[in-house]
Amino acid sequence: MNGELASSGSAQLWERALKAMPGGVSHDGRFLPPHPTYFARAKGARKWDVEGREYIDYAVGSGAMMLGHSHPDVVKAVQAQMELGTFFATVHPLEIEWAELVQELIPSAERVRFTASGTESTLLAIRTARAYTGKPKLLRFEGHFHGWHDGVLLGMKAPFDEWPSLGIPDELRSTAAVAPQDANRVEEMLKADPAIGTIICEVSGANWGSVPISDDFLRDLRKLADRYGCVLIFDEVITGFRWSPGGKQKLLGITPDMTTMAKIVAGGMPGGAVGGKAEIMRLLDPNVEYKRYKPAVAHKGTYNASPIVSAAAVAALKVIRTGEPQRQADSVAKQLRAGMQQMIDELGVDALVYGESSTFTVYFAKGARRGSLASISPAAIRGSLNRDSLDIYTNGLRRRGVDNMSFTGGMTSLAHRDEDVPPTLEAFEGAVQDLLDAGRIVCT
């Protein structure tokens, strides 16, 4: 680390950041008052801030670090590729090996095209699906997150019929329909609007599972997509390679027409992928002419499948396919969920702890302990703790050596161990007590 930066604390770095970047950050969600914590290094399930404080990390690179930070196989692969060349701006052998691994693991990936991020993956998948069906409209679900491009912002957060950002032409409203996670309502919308040709769904449920989704609903989507001639896209940017080596689709035996991927698929590096049926993906083939277009769907991107990212991805997926990362991460997350719920019950706090696979979420709301997962909605999860309360909770965890992901949840990795559970639960109890002391949550 640069010596000048290493000798600066987070407060000093924040003052510099404010003069260099809008709001001092490069991502909307990275600000935390009074100022963000600046991190200097990470290894395994731990990371350290610029002041040298150690944290158990449940943000895990926004879900990207399934193997933990700096897994030796990934580090070795990236170092070796750096010696051979960082970027060629042409094809190279590693991208083929990477694509073959994705094909091997993801059932829907008959063909694979690489991108530079999850946002780019959903953008490309939706464009390709529209080209295939000839229908312009996308059906997406309330609160589901598919990146930050214009085509997927309507419905991203409540109120779901309003744009969550300036700068988007209102004319784009006609290209998207927003539905609740309700199969009957979806069918009504498909019957009423023949312009809908694409359905996209975050298969964990909204915001990586903070709003649960039923397996039966995903099965219904497959049936409805077939019945109404729609392309079904499973957004597995989070679930892909985490719920199982083949993603949630492999776990459930439900194969979509297309799958969007990022994060783990790229070994925790900046990269993404779209996998899909060969007949759909052929529209990206530069040798195929379709309706006078060649290729039918335009897709470029300087850093698609760059050698450095490809090297990390290949190394990571070879470990991922063993299933051991999922088994270990799931085991620790299960212990955390049970321990957190027990602590909530002992404190008498009105909250519910839940999650699938290697995730955990804490839902603070009136009636939560007596409620069911089916009662949790996108609007409810965002409204359960206001921004100030979330800051109290997050800062409470960090003061006690734990870093969370977003809202009130986190994820585990291969690097997390049973011995991480007790100190995490101790930090959790302290953060909950902070909320109680501030009068932000109630006891039943």
3-state class of 304 per DSSP? Answer: coil
Band (379; pLDDT cuts 50, 70, 90): confident
Q: Do residues 378 and 355 share a domain?
A: yes
| Portion of the chain with pLDDT greater than 70, in percent | 98
pLDDT at 227 over 50: yes
Q: How many CB atoms lie within 10 A of CB 311?
A: 25
Band (408; pLDDT cuts 50, 70, 90): confident
Q: Do residues 175 and 297 share a domain?
A: yes
CATH number of the domain to which 377 belongs: 3.90.1150.10
Domain boundary pick from 320, 338, 363: 320
Q: Do residues 121 and 264 share a domain?
A: yes
Name the β-bridge partners of 198.
Answer: 138, 231
Band (351; pLDDT cuts 50, 70, 90): very high
Minimum mean pLDDT among 157-161, 218-222, 236-240: which range?
Answer: 157-161
With respect to residue 12, please indicate whether it lies within any of the assigned structural domains: no
Let me know: does 239 contact 205? Beta carbons within 8 Å: no
Q: Whole-number mean pLDDT of the chain?
A: 94
Cα separation, 413 vs 61, whole angstroms: 10
With respect to residue 149, please indicate whether it lies within any of the assigned structural domains: yes
First to last CA, the chain: 48
Dihedral angle computed from the Cα positions of residues 392, 398, 400 and 406, in that order, rounded to the nearest 10 degrees: 70
With respect to residue 240, please indicate whether it lies within any of the assigned structural domains: yes
Band (383; pLDDT cuts 50, 70, 90): low
Angle at the Cα of 162 (from 160 to 168), degrees rounded to 5?
125
Question: What DSSP letter does each residue of 307-370 carry, written as one string?
Answer: HHHHHHHHHHHHHHTTSHHHHHHHHHHHHHHHHHHHHHHHHTBSEEEE-STTEEEEEE-TTTTT
Tens-digit pLDDT profile for residues 142-192:
999 999 999 999 999 889 999 999 999 999 999 999 999 999 999 999 999
Among residues 379, 437, 404, the alpha carbon closest in space to that of 159 is found at: 379
Mean pLDDT of 224-233: 98
Minimum mean pLDDT among 6-20, 117-131, 416-430: which range?
Answer: 6-20
Percentage helix, strand, coil for the chain under 3-state DSSP, each rounded to 5: 45, 15, 40
| More confident call, 16 vs 377 | 16
pLDDT of residue 374: 79
Band (4; pLDDT cuts 50, 70, 90): very low
Instruction: Count how many domains the chain has.
Output: 2
Give the domain range for residue 415: 37-69+323-437
Strands 176-179 and 137-141, bridge-based pairing: parallel
Q: Do residues 92 and 167 share a domain?
A: yes
Burial environment of residue 227 by CB neighbours within 10 A (0 to 12, 13 to 18, 19 or more): exposed
* Tokens describing residue 76: 């070795």
CATH number of the domain to which 272 belongs: 3.40.640.10
Band (3; pLDDT cuts 50, 70, 90): very low
* Tokens describing residue 127: 């464009």
Q: Do residues 170 and 287 share a domain?
A: yes
Q: Do residues 226 and 169 share a domain?
A: yes
Mean pLDDT of 40-63: 97
pLDDT at 438 over 70: yes
* Tokens describing residue 221: 């989507």
pLDDT at 406 over 80: no
Band (8; pLDDT cuts 50, 70, 90): low
With respect to residue 24, please indicate whether it lies within any of the assigned structural domains: no
Q: Do residues 278 and 168 share a domain?
A: yes
Mean pLDDT of 297-312: 97
Q: Do residues 151 and 291 share a domain?
A: yes
With respect to residue 444, please indicate whether it lies within any of the assigned structural domains: no
- H-assigned helices in 362-409: 378-383, 387-399
Q: Do residues 337 and 307 share a domain?
A: no
With respect to residue 106, please indicate whether it lies within any of the assigned structural domains: yes
Q: Do residues 379 and 239 share a domain?
A: no
Q: What type of residue is 43?
A: K
- Count Cα neighbours of 330 within 13 Å in the Cβ-side half-sphere: 13
Strands 272-276 and 111-115, bridge-based pairing: antiparallel
Cα separation, 240 vs 228, whole angstroms: 26
With respect to residue 356, please indicate whether it lies within any of the assigned structural domains: yes
3-state class of 239 per DSSP? Answer: coil
With respect to residue 62, please indicate whether it lies within any of the assigned structural domains: yes
Let me know: does 412 contact 46? Beta carbons within 8 Å: no
Q: Do residues 315 and 329 share a domain?
A: no
Domain boundary pick from 264, 292, 320: 320
Domain boundary pick from 267, 300, 320: 320
| Portion of the chain with pLDDT greater than 90, in percent | 85
3-state class of 266 per DSSP? Answer: helix
pLDDT at 118 over 60: yes
b/e per residue 379-406 (b: at least 16 CB within 10 A):
ebbbebbeeebbebbbbbbbebebbbbb
Backbone angles phi, psi at 74, to 5 degrees: -70, -45
Q: Do residues 193 and 48 share a domain?
A: no
3-state class of 198 per DSSP? Answer: strand
